[in-house]
Structure 1
């Protein structure tokens, strides 16, 4: 079953169970998926859906930070709920040790010597770890590995 089909099934289940908050969040996700299809005139693959879910998760994290700093715990709680719901569609996340090992392998593969080679390393690491690790953490690990 594709990721898109799984999301559509979850929408139907939320409708049947009358879970309005979950249904609202899932409809937001399906609307974003349809918008991407229309904008780019493509049929979304699981990789496209995964990339969009990651983007929405990043937006939720930024919103949570902003709402907490602004003294709006009610809105932050709503964003956290949506974040938790979106995280269900991501594959299992890699541990920091696994990310460090992947970064070290990419550095060795490219023969990177310093920070100027970060783009080459990220070009290898990003497709391999997409959806499996937070790219912000991956970027920080690459910087740390290249600054040694």
Structure 2
């Protein structure tokens, strides 16, 4: 079953079960997919759908941080619930240790020695961890390992 079909099935079941959080998140994901497909006149495959979900996850995490700064615990709680639903549709995330091993291996593959090689390292790592790690964390680990 493709990811888009799974989203359709989950939307139906969340409506039957009156799970409003899941329903709203799945609806948001499906709307984002549809918008991208219409704008670019393409049919997305699972890896491209994962990219969209990862982007939505990042946006929701950013919103969560803003809600916490503003002292809006009600919205922060809602954002945390949305994050959990979004994570259900992403591949298993890599641990920081696994990610650090990939970063170290890539640095040696590329032959990087300084921060000037950052772009080359990042462009080499990102396809390896697509959808399984946050770019900000990867960036921090690369910086830490280059110093």
TM-score, normalization by structure 1: 0.94
Shift of 1:135: 1.4
Q: Deviations over 1:66-125 (max 9, x none)?
A: 111112111111111111100111111111111111111111111111110111111110
Partner of 1:107: 107
Instruction: Report the Cα distance in structure 2 between the residues aligned to 1:110 and 1:146, rounded to whole angstroms.
Output: 12
Map 1:118-133 → 2, pairs under 5 A: 118-133=118-133
Map 1:3-82 → 2, pairs under 5 A: 3-82=3-82
Unaligned runs of 5+ in 1: none
Unaligned runs of 5+ in 2: none
Instruction: Report the Cα distance in structure 2 between the residues aligned to 1:21 and 1:54, rounded to whole angstroms.
Output: 18
Partner of 1:95: 95
Instruction: Report the Cα distance in structure 1 between the residues aligned to 2:121 and 2:71, rounded to whole angstroms.
Output: 40
Partner of 2:134: 134
TM-score, normalization by structure 2: 0.95
